[in-house]
Amino acid sequence: MMKISNRSLLSLLRLSFLPIVLLQLLSINTNAQVKDLAWYTANAPFKMPTVPIPVFADKTFSIADFGGVNDGQTLNTVAFEKTIAACVAAGGGKVVVPAGLWLTGPIQLKSNINLEVQRGAIINFTSDHTQYPIIKASNTSTNYQPASPIYGYDLKNIAITGEGIIDGAGDSWREMKKSKTTEAQWKKLVASGGVVSEDGSIWWPSKEAMEGGAYIKALKQKSTKLTAADYLPARDGLRQHMVFLVNCENVLIENVTIRNSPKFIFYPSKCTNVTLRYANFYNEWYAQNGDAIDISACENVVVYKCNVSAGDDAICMKSSRGKSDPADGFNLQNILIAGCTVYNGHGGFVIGSNTDGGMRNIFVTDCNFIGTDIGIRVKSNAGRGGVVKDIYICNIYMKDILHEAISFDTYYEDVPAGAVKDTVRTVRDKTPVFSDFHMSNIFCNGAESAVSITGLPEMPIRKLFFDNVTISAKKGFEATDAADLSLKNVKLIVPTDNVYTLNNVPGVTITNGYFPASAKTLIKADAKSKDVKVISTDLRGVKDAVQVSKK
């Protein structure tokens, strides 16, 4: 090991360091600010457009007037259809679901409709899967799926509002891993029916659900011209998103609680001008693929003061590129997430794993993550990666994070339930390009690891700026295949011998750093981690603050 003396380190105080891009709003005494949605929009670090809220005609149609029965036993699918049709015929307005328990099949939204679920109302989607017809995944798609509980394609001016509850009967669709249950819960689940995998590790609601994926895969190998009838035998295994909107414009989700989804709770794809405010999104922590909010290839999106608890990722950004999309475009951009709380989830705020459509201009601020697996999570892999840049995350408060407080992973690989993860990747056609992330005023009390960064050897993760970050964790800062990292006022409270571990990470600047009493070494680096600077940091009494390997 080659050691750098204190004298050499202190001489670095005179060297310049990478400029840190600071958000102007962080220099303001935020405690004195009245932060409403207009404030966040005006103070975003990029030109965030004001997202319009849909306006509806002053006409009201109640499902109770069109044959609806709120006893929880009567199927109201036709009543919903009739009520929405009458509202559309009148030029749009409000479709009201009054207090009561409303059992129904899928609800197809239409343009200029505000579905208001009033306080005391519960829309309960049926667990009878025969009520969910096989339909196209969009108006232009060649793929089929069971109709989502609530869905709409190519619509304008739509909303789901009110203080009621929407339940997607997701537990009748989802598989369950034995590892996520107690012994008593597992016995009760198996006794309820369904089937168990050969190795006894996964319960499925039905044999069709367990075999559906393999059935469709085999069909597609035989023919590319499949029909809805071809998909029908696999219906139980084709879990759908709960609220699924494709190519819609001017969308509002407000006040309502949406829960128990077959797959993702809210999934807008290729939508413009989407606002989620004061809403609640809830899946049980064990819900397989139970993401809460997945924004996919959308523009001009606001997620404001929402509460989230998920079985998978909580608030997630996705962006896939279609065949007709420009190669150098950004399918997801202009995203504002402010004042939200996440209680459970694989990640509090998440980017990926599909990033090949490109992402930019995302602003996440004033959020709390409590008990999530990972706090801030950025993930992709070769084969589905793209350019992700100009991401601003500030004023984030986290507690009891199970794994990493902050994670960048370009070897991420999600696998079906029961499959084995293999992170050895050879495909390099869609390479993740992560750069220009600005993370400021981030605080975490309790995590397994403070920061973990894993790039690709041929495409390091670049230009990460950390300012005013305090994290207590069992492990410190670990980075591999990254470059141009700037850390200012970063305090990592860890019990390990060294705080920073760098492998092939050239260009690191630590300014006003923190050296915990338990540590023997500030930085442990390999020979490829060159141009490492430590500035304005008290290293008195530290014999070997930086250790650099010869290899």
Predicted local confidence at residue 415, as pLDDT: 63
Predicted local confidence at residue 424, as pLDDT: 53
Mean local confidence (pLDDT), 382-403? 96
List 397's β-bridge partners, or say none: 368, 443
Residue 255 structure tokens: 């006040």
pLDDT band at 548 (very low <50, low <70, confident <90, very high): confident
Rounded Cα–Cα distance for residues 316 and 269 (Å): 12
Under 8 Å between Cβ of 321 and 357? yes
Under 8 Å between Cβ of 101 and 70? yes
Q: CATH class for domain 20-48+283-459?
A: mainly beta
List 258's β-bridge partners, or say none: 166, 281
% of the chain surpassing 90 pLDDT = 83
Rounded Cα–Cα distance for residues 293 and 37 (Å): 19
pLDDT band at 187 (very low <50, low <70, confident <90, very high): very high
Which candidate, 333, 270, 335, 261, places its Cα nearest to that of 296?
270
Tallying the residues shown for the chain, one arrives at 551
| C-alpha 230 chain-centroid distance | 32
Residue 104 structure tokens: 């129904």
Using DSSP, how many helices (H) and how many strands (E) does the chain show?
Answer: 6, 41
The rounded mean pLDDT for the chain is: 91
541 Rama class: left (phi>0) / alpha (psi -120 to 50) / beta: left
pLDDT band at 288 (very low <50, low <70, confident <90, very high): very high
Q: pLDDT by residue (tens digit) across 228-274?
A: 999 999 999 999 999 999 999 999 999 999 999 999 999 999 999 99
Going from the C-alpha of 92 to that of each of 58, 115, 152, 349, 366, the distances in angstroms are 8, 11, 15, 35, 36
Torsion, Cα 223 225 229 235, to 10 degrees, reads 70
Determine the 3-state secondary structure of 518 from DSSP: coil
pLDDT band at 413 (very low <50, low <70, confident <90, very high): confident
Under 8 Å between Cβ of 478 and 455? no
Instruction: Say which residues have a Cβ less than 8 Å from residue 326's Cβ, sequence separation at least 6.
Output: none
User: Is residue 18 over pLDDT 80?
Assistant: no
Domain ranges, ordered by start, for the chain: 1-18+474-551, 20-48+283-459
Predicted local confidence at residue 223, as pLDDT: 86
Residue 211's φ and ψ, nearest 5 degrees, are: -100, -5
List 378's β-bridge partners, or say none: 351, 408
pLDDT band at 417 (very low <50, low <70, confident <90, very high): low
